[in-house]
Amino acid sequence: MATELVKTEDFRTDDLRTDEMIINMGPQHPATHGVLRLILTLDGEKVKHVEPILGHLHRAQEWQGQNRTWFQYQALIDRVDYLSGMFTSWAMARSCEQLDGITVPPRAEYLRVMVAEMNRISSHLLWLGTYLIDLGAMFGFPFYPFREREKLLDLFEEISGQRMMFNYIRIGGVHRDPKAEWFQKVRKFTEEFPQRVDEYEAIVTENPIFLKRTKGVGILKQSVAKDYGVTGPCIRCSGIPLDLRRTKPYSVYPELKFDVITYDKEGDTWDRYMARILEMRQSNEIIKQCLDMIPAGEIMGKKQMAGMRIKAGEGFAAVESPRGIIGCYVTSTGGEKPFRFRWRNPSFCNLSVLSELLVGSPIADIMAIFGSIDVILPDVDR
Amino acid sequence: MSTEAKPPAQPEAPLEPGKFGQFLKEHGISTNRLPDSCGVETITISADDLHQALKLLRSSQETKLDLLITVSGVDNNDTIDAVYHLWSYYNNDELVLKVMTPKASIPEGKLPEVPSISNFWSAANWHERETYDLAGVRFTGHPYPRRILNPWDWEGHPLRRDYKQPADDLNSKHKVSFR
């Protein structure tokens, strides 16, 4: 006798017992961009509550800021946000220059902007590659953005000696002056880059699977974002055009023409993806303008010595990194070591909004939402 | 230490209140003004007035300081401060607000107490946990007062001046060594 298939509507559900499940999205996970532990309370597939547990990557950078000399500490902070090390150095340099009254020469300012925008492009390229892997597109897509990223890392290696932890932007200026060939290579990169971004967009932007996974997912309301102190592309996609390069311009940004990518609505994950693609194109334009406008001259405003000191006082300075506002609050007593270095990292503040965004969404959306906030864990834990 | 330059001496007369000090004075909150930190108005406020002051600064029409940049804890040698940096999403205003607790007024073995603002300002939630963890400022009324960067059972507050690192294989003197 052939058994008949039981129809779904004939299942008895009155004796089913449902319960919430607590699952660890453990510290080791290929998609959390670092070591982040998420304790998820799930009802079936829907997330009821999420608690991020931080601190696995805590390396005591603020303690180091009290116990290392000014010269030593500059080399340590690149490692905080390793994908955008130039910006962390720049925040420290700006805050110390403000306190000490050092003027940075114009050539150094242009070099800073150029390498910082190159760093922004390389950070967004890595974000793009890993985001697609998080969503499951493991067919080798990241090797496309990494092709451009390798060119940028070669340029960084020429100018600073390092591929990632540059230690290039120092207090008072920049470390080395590149040769003339370096500028030609950067120009060649900027000429080829828009075409490459078109290639990435051709694969991703109109892709129906990508659209289904990211449209309407993870809508960040403006009031929630303001309450949590979100900055960077996430807040610009929720309707508030806060970009430090335009609202509180520093360095030579007032002389450069570029658009601030902002959407006048409550942004979802697809908007945040698109904003980063457009920001890469804008950064390309900024680099082209800097190449045309860079003057000759010195690159260091005050000679750096191993026992350098900064005048007494306190101050706060911030720059716009690919993730948001990275700020540095420094207190000095004029001694050989800083008194207090407090870092305001964008990933720390943006990650706190995760507990609001994930509630009610299925597990598959966790990675889509988390990846679109663009969090780097060493930046969270310092 | 004799090689350190002293910080600027306190001025003889109290400084004139700036824009935000004046605004708070009109609403009945008294503040003291400290020397500007690189051009930004710096005021100190007592712990009891903190809630009201921040609610006013955040939501009133004249001063829309609605971006809480950070809450930090600083161990100045005779006080422990909770420092609030406030910016605005809409204009270029900045303000530094400090709640200073003299060390002499903290009982032995206890931590300075500051009311928590995370019930109405969610950005402060993790910042206050971090300040408790690293600098040892207790925020009363916080919904989840646990350490955030160090393990939950860590002892001591690393950013204090009198913090002793726990003994481990790197800094304790063992007679027997692997090497």
pLDDT digits (tens, 9 = 90+) for A143-194: 888 888 999 999 999 998 888 888 899 888 888 888 889 999 999 999 999 9
- In chain A, which residues have pLDDT < 70? 1-4, 6-14
Token pair 């870092």 in the structure block, residue:
A343
- Search chain B and give the residue with CA nearest A355: B122
Of A235, A314, A335, the CB nearest to B37: A314
Domain ranges of chain A: 51-381
Report chain A residues whose CB lies below 8 A from the CB of B75. 340
Per-residue model confidence (pLDDT) at position A184: 92
Q: Do B38 and A327 count as a contact with CB atoms less than 8 A apart?
A: no
Q: How many CB atoms within 10 Å of residue A37?
A: 17
**Which is more confident, B12 or B140?**
B140
Per-residue model confidence (pLDDT) at position B14: 66
Per-residue model confidence (pLDDT) at position B168: 64
Q: Which fold has domain B19-140?
A: Beta Polymerase; domain 2 (3.30.460)
Q: Is residue B169 very low, low, confident or very high in pLDDT (cuts 50, 70, 90)?
A: low
Q: Is residue B1 very low, low, confident or very high in pLDDT (cuts 50, 70, 90)?
A: very low
Which of these, B134, B165, B168, lies nearest to B148 by C-alpha position?
B134
CB of B83 within 8 A of CB of B106?
no
Give the integer Cα–Cα distance in Å for A35 and B45: 38
Give tens-digit pLDDT for B84-119. Answer: 999 988 888 888 989 988 888 888 888 888 999 888
pLDDT, chain A, mean: 87
Report chain A residues whose CB lies below 8 A from the CB of B66. 226
Per-residue model confidence (pLDDT) at position B12: 54
Percent share of chain B, pLDDT over 90: 6
Q: Do B159 and A63 count as a contact with CB atoms less than 8 A apart?
A: yes
Does the pLDDT at position B7 exceed 60?
Answer: no
Which top CATH class is A51-381? Answer: mainly alpha
Domain ranges of chain B: 19-140
Give tens-digit pLDDT for B19-42. Answer: 787 888 888 788 888 888 788 888
How many angstroms separate the CA of residue A224 from the nearest CA in chain B? 9
How many angstroms separate the CA of residue B126 from the nearest CA in chain A? 7
Interface of chain B toward chain A, CB-CB under 8 angstroms: 1, 3-8, 37-38, 40, 66-70, 72, 74-75, 83, 85, 89-90, 92, 94, 96, 121-123, 125-126, 134, 147-151, 158-159
Per-residue model confidence (pLDDT) at position A155: 92
Per-residue model confidence (pLDDT) at position A346: 92
Predicted interface score ipTM higher than 0.90: no
What's the length of chain B?
179
Q: Do A247 and B159 count as a contact with CB atoms less than 8 A apart?
A: no
Does the pLDDT at position B51 exceed 60?
Answer: yes
A146, with CB counted inside 10 A (0-12, 13-18, 19+), is middle
